[in-house]
Amino acid sequence: MPSYFCRKAFLFVCMEERELLPHLFRTEYQKIVSVLCYLFGIEHITEAEDIVSDTFLAATESWSARGIPDNPTAWLYTVAKNKTKNWLKRNTFFQQKLLVDLQHNIPRGEEIEVDLSEQNITDSQLAMIFTVCHPSIPAESQIALALNLLCGFGAQEIADAYLTNKEVIYKRISRAKDKLKEADIKIQQPTLAQINDRLDAVLKTLYLLFSEGYYSTSTNTVLRKDLCLEAMRLNYLLVDHPHTNKPAVNALLALMCFHASRFDARLNDIGGVVLYDDQDETLWNRELIERGEYFLNEAAATPDVTKYHLEAAIAYWHTHKADSGGKWENILDLYNHLLILEYSPIVALNRTFALAKVKGKQQAISEAEKLPLADNYFYHSLLGNLYTDIDDHKALQHYKTALQLANSAADKTLMAKNIDQLNQRRSN
């Protein structure tokens, strides 16, 4: 786990650093850890994490006193290299063992070099992704460990994403690390067989990471672009590698591009939620939409269809505001196929919005009320919307329940606004 004191230290820096350091912690921490684990071996995860945590603690102290350097990332890399060399000197036995393991790469008498080049970071992270998704580890632990090591998630954030408590996540991560050590799993570039065996777990991890960023359950915010961009970066590593450039990988990246294209339209100037029908289409990122279309076409290279293909196609139609070309009929059909392929109550709930567009609100209400989602914010928010103009009293009750269940300030504001509007209509 990342050092507790390193995380706490962020609370004591100036406002500019308070914005920069958590961002760098999110984007650079896991890169350096991956490189060190790639160098040391998976059994030395703890040592790698300690070195990187010390690096960020040094940044907190130095930048508070001397200001932010011209190139903060390069500063972190230099300090991480120096701390690694100092750590190796203090641990001569480990250094000698490592030199023996790497003797074919290290000329006699030379120091071990920590390579933080872009290519080695890419190679290290790709190797780490497939290492932590080893089949000897339960799937839920694979994803928890990957989110922790590769994506910078804390235990509480992962727990919120899994709708469990952080003690459960601590145990999953700890057991996964122990299992990798016991099995003496090597961090190395995955073989074709390993890619085929583990790719599904890798994609689930990236999907969860993007979802947590797109609609965060763990913090008081609706959108965390840094998490989404990190998921897209890791996904692109897979697309950019010839052995992992699979249709499902392209489909997932297309899905991310389509959703990310509407980031700037989802929130207003004061951080409030803007519903899809009210979004300003001119704020949509056309370049990302085009990239999404490119990756979706790449994903169509095989007749095999995954959930990512279907969700990407649904997201594609949402980048076309006008209700033309059978838009909602196509979305409804895609949801029908998605439910057959991989049923979930949330997917069924999302389908009811498309159903309302095609068949009307009454039929959508009938379908939605069959779902076991009485404790879900989106369930009551959607039913509040569907009942509006049909039964405003029921709409009001659902909005009030949604207000109680809402996690983010933006969602609470939206529900309060809906309640006020309904109350005003009923009083007139």
Q: What percent of the chain has pLDDT over 70?
A: 88
pLDDT band at 98 (very low <50, low <70, confident <90, very high): low
Distance of alpha carbon 227 from the chain centroid: 5
Residue 349: other Cβ atoms inside 10 A? 18
Q: Which pLDDT does position 14 carry in this prediction?
A: 38
**Sequence-ordered list of residues with C-beta below 8 angstroms from that of 402, at least 6 positions apart, any chain:** 377, 380, 381, 384, 411, 415
Q: Is the pTM of this model over 0.85?
A: no
323 has a pLDDT exceeding 60: yes
Q: Which of 182-186, 199-203, 232-236 has the lowest mean pLDDT?
A: 182-186
List the structure tokens of 79. 């300090």
Q: Which pLDDT does position 7 carry in this prediction?
A: 36
pLDDT band at 417 (very low <50, low <70, confident <90, very high): very high
219 has a pLDDT exceeding 60: no
Smallest CA-to-CA distance from 83 within 105, 61, 56, 109 is with 56
Is residue 20 within 8 Å of residue 68, measured between CB atoms? yes
Which residue type sits at 190?
P
Q: Which pLDDT does position 93 carry in this prediction?
A: 60
Q: What is the mean pLDDT of residues 308-320?
A: 96
Mean pLDDT for all residues in the chain: 85
What does the alpha-carbon distance between residue 169 and residue 416 come to, in Å, rounded to a whole number? 34
22 has a pLDDT exceeding 90: no
Q: What is the mean pLDDT of residues 10-29?
A: 64
pLDDT band at 237 (very low <50, low <70, confident <90, very high): very high
Q: Which of 1-10, 85-94, 178-187 has the lowest mean pLDDT?
A: 1-10
Exposure letters 219-237 (e unless 16+ CB within 10 A, then b): eeebbbeebbbbbbebbeb
Q: What is the mean pLDDT of residues 403-413?
A: 89
Residue 178: other Cβ atoms inside 10 A? 12
Q: From residue 338, give the alpha-carbon distance in Å to each of 293, 305, 351, 375.
A: 20, 10, 10, 23
What does the alpha-carbon distance between residue 69 and residue 207 come to, in Å, rounded to a whole number? 34
9 has a pLDDT exceeding 50: no
pLDDT band at 106 (very low <50, low <70, confident <90, very high): very low
Q: What is the mean pLDDT of residues 249-270?
A: 93
What does the alpha-carbon distance between residue 402 and residue 384 come to, in Å, rounded to a whole number? 8
Smallest CA-to-CA distance from 417 within 279, 406, 365, 222 is with 406
Q: What is the mean pLDDT of residues 209-231?
A: 73
